[in-house]
A = this chain, B = another copy of it.
């Protein structure tokens, strides 16, 4: 893997919000508004972080009617994937969202 491409990957991971997003998507695909709800950040901010992750090919998107669901891109290099799997377990955040009726959607 080339250094330029690697640098882009690590740049994409070099932000706490984006690591949080990756840590959440590790459990299941989520749409933008769910991430907004969980991370308590504005929608444009989340969208721009997702764009960076997408450009670095760490996540992919899937449109379903009004929503766009993001998930970890399966094509990721194995050692990058290992990094994502080493992120903290945030499944409780998703559980909270479901419990509060905020899931699927919005």
Interface, chain A (partner B; CB < 8 A): 1-4, 6-7, 10-11, 13-16, 19-20, 23, 77, 79, 82-83, 86-88
Contacts and interface: CB of A to CB of B under 8 A. Distances in A.
Oligomer: number of copies = 2
A5 to B, nearest CB: 10
A19 B14 contact: no
A16 B3 contact: yes
Given A79-B82, A82-B82, A83-B79, A7 B14 contact: yes
A15 B7 CA distance: 6
A14 B16 contact: no
Nearest to A23: B3
Contacts of A88: 1-3
